[in-house]
Structure 1
Amino acid sequence: MSAPKFKATMTIPKNGMEEWNDIMQNPPKTLPQGINEDNYIVASCAKFSDGVTIFGGVAVGAKSQDFNYPLFMVFDKNMHQVGGWPIDTSDWDSWSARSIQFAVDPNDEDGNYLLDIVEATS
């Protein structure tokens, strides 16, 4: 895997890894008003130097499921959503990634973007 060309940091709340894992694995019985299935319940964002923006967090699962799921949306510099799943979280069973390398261009096998995920210190 080649070194990524672009790097950005997404900061999640202090203790976010543990709290977001809990939200994924133990969904609240009652959702906040206005939050529905497939909407983010918690999220953060990051912007790369070329303008690509990541919005990622935990989304509400279907009512028939007993879990929520991680979801990342990728937007180009003009804030158009990049189709497909440049960041595939389909096999995540917890929120534990510290960095994710991905490609916006489906022809780029290595991925030239690196998203570091850090917890706030306070």
Structure 2
Amino acid sequence: MPTPETQPFFDAAARGELRIQRCLDCGRPFFHPRPCCPFCASADLEWFTTSGRATLYSYTITHRPAPGFEAPYAIAVVQLAEGPRMMTNIVGVENTPGNLVLDMDLRVTFEQRGDVTIPQFTPVEVA
């Protein structure tokens, strides 16, 4: 469920945009949404739209599904082209170790889940 800090993230996702925050004092982008910069503690922040590009940093394949998911699926950490890492899912490819290669190029895609739209990532080759 979105909070006041995360509502702009979910509103953007519903429009098909991946937006994250950047500190206007130190200039560093970050994820997850929060009211102050995790690097310099400034509250002078802005939201910006990312490129939607990322690389696969790490993952695990789960065979015990959470509600609303079909196993197996990948729980992944991706490195956004803008720098921050985010936890997400990999879609559009069978989730096997042979298909999920670290540092592979990914692009964002979005899926409606209940009342919110969430960003997920798919390999660029699948695009």
Q: TM-score, normalised by structure 2?
A: 0.27
Write 1 or 2 for the structure with the bigger share of strand.
2
Higher RCO (C-alpha 8 Å, min separation 6): 1
Q: TM-score, normalised by structure 1?
A: 0.27
